[in-house]
C-alpha cells in the first residue's frame, strides 16, 4: 500500500496489484476497442484498449478529443468472461464483462459496449 499524509490525514493512494493467472480467453481479446453508441449519445471516451503488462491485464481508456490516456485500470480476472477493476478510488470493483461475438470480442463496462477494432 502507498499512502499520503496531508495535515495529519493519511490516505491510501495505491495498492499492489495481485498477480493471478489470466485465462487464455482474455489474452486473445487484447487490442484496441471502440465504443458503440446511439445517435446523439454523449460519451466520456471513444476508444479503449485491453493490454498486457507482464502478467497483468489492463484496460486503458483514451480521452475523447485527443489520443492521450484518460485512465488505465488493472483488472483482476474472476473467470473466462468476467473481470473487475482493481485498485483504489473511483471505479474500483466495477465489472468488465467479455463475450466473443460473431464479429469478434466485445467488452461491456460502466454502461458502455466496446467492440474490437479490425
Q: What average pLDDT score do residues 55-71 get?
A: 83
- The least confident of 17-26, 60-69, 100-109 is 60-69
Alpha-carbon distances, residue 49 vs 15, 45, 74, 106 (angstroms)? 22, 12, 12, 12
Is residue 89 a part of any domain in this protein?
yes
- For 64-101, how does the pLDDT look when each residue is reduced to its tens digit (9 = 90+)? 666 788 888 889 999 999 999 886 566 677 899 999 98
Q: Give the per-residue pLDDT at 17.
A: 65
The torsion of the CA quartet 116, 101, 35, 88, rounded to 10 degrees, works out to -90
Is residue 63 a part of any domain in this protein?
yes
Domain range holding 112? 17-116
Give which of 88, 77, 72 is closest to 1, Cα–Cα. 88
Mean of per-residue pLDDT scores for the chain: 84
Is residue 12 a part of any domain in this protein?
no
Q: Is the pLDDT of residue 1 over 90?
A: no
Instruction: Output the domain CATH number for residue 60.
Output: 2.40.128
Is residue 69 a part of any domain in this protein?
yes
Is residue 2 a part of any domain in this protein?
no
Is residue 8 a part of any domain in this protein?
no
Q: Give the per-residue pLDDT at 73.
A: 87
Is residue 7 a part of any domain in this protein?
no
Q: How many domains does the chain have?
A: 1
Q: Is the pLDDT of residue 14 over 80?
A: no
Q: What average pLDDT score do residues 5-28 get?
A: 76
Q: Is the dihedral of CA 56, 15, 60, 91 positive or negative?
A: positive
Residue 69 near residue 58 (C-beta atoms within 8 A): no
Beta bridge partners of 61: 48, 71
Amino acid at each position: 500500500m502507498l499512502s499520503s499524509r496531508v495535515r495529519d490525514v493519511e490516505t491510501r493512494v495505491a495498492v499492489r496489484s495481485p498477480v493471478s493467472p489470466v485465462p487464455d480467453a482474455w489474452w486473445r481479446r487484447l487490442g484496441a476497442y471502440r465504443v458503440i453508441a446511439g445517435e446523439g449519445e454523449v460519451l466520456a471516451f471513444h476508444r479503449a484498449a485491453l493490454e498486457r503488462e507482464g502478467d497483468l491485464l489492463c484496460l486503458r481508456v483514451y480521452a475523447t478529443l485527443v489520443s492521450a490516456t484518460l485512465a488505465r485500470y488493472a483488472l483482476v480476472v474472476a473467470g473466462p468472461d468476467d473481470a473487475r477493476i482493481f485498485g483504489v478510488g473511483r471505479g474500483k470493483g466495477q465489472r468488465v464483462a467479455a463475450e466473443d461475438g460473431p464479429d469478434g470480442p466485445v467488452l461491456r463496462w460502466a454502461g458502455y459496449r466496446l467492440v474490437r477494432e479490425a
